Structures are given as C-alpha cells and as structure tokens.
Amino acid sequence: MPWLYYTDGSAPAVLTDDGIPTQFSFPDDVMNFRVHAYSVNGTFLGYHNVTNGLLQLCKNTQSYLNAAYTFGVTYSQTVRILDKVLLMLVVNYLMD
C-alpha cells in the first residue's frame, strides 16, 4: 500500500518496489480460531475451539473438517439440508 507522505526523492523507489518481504507461519500450519458462546439470554458460556466440525453442518472425518483451518489449503464444502431437518436442529446457544 502506498504511503501518505514521501520524503524528497523516495517516492519512485517505494512505488516501483514489488517485493513483499512478509512471511506468515503458524505452528503446524494450523490457524487456531475460537468463538465466544452465549446462551439465548446473553449469559457468557465460554470460549470454544472451532475445530472438529463446530461450525460446519456437513458431517465428515475430523481431518477433513479441520482442513478448513490449515494455512495455505484450498478448502470447499457443500451441504444440502432439507428445511424441516434444519428446523429440527436444537441450538440453545449463539456464537460470536
């Protein structure tokens, strides 16, 4: 991203530099996401790790579900659920 201010003569060097000296890494290449859980009346229930299918409606192996949180992996999953089956799911908490 270009800077807002350039010292005399520095703009051409900055604007033509296409190198990105940034590196990203995660322990075991896994991004650890956590969600906050609340009851429907707003009571805080704690933090939960999103792995093992917590957020996915499709059922699959744990390794497949957890691949969604592996850095650098292309992940895609499609689910088809009948509306009456979706309405039968009992959800007594909200996640943020």
Percent of the chain with pLDDT over 90: 16
Distances (CA, A) of 95 to 2, 48, 74, 91: 37, 9, 25, 10
pTM, full prediction = 0.57
Q: How confident is the model at residue 1 (pLDDT cuts 50, 70, 90)?
A: low
pLDDT tens digits along 69-92: 888 888 888 888 888 887 787 777
Tokens of 31: 């991004």
61 Cβ contact list (under 8 Å, min separation 6): none
Query: For residue 96, which of 34, 28, 4 has the smallest C-alpha distance?
Result: 34
pLDDT tens digits along 15-34: 777 777 777 777 778 888 99
Contact, 74 vs 89, CB < 8 A? Answer: no
pLDDT higher at 15 or 50? 50
pLDDT higher at 36 or 80? 36
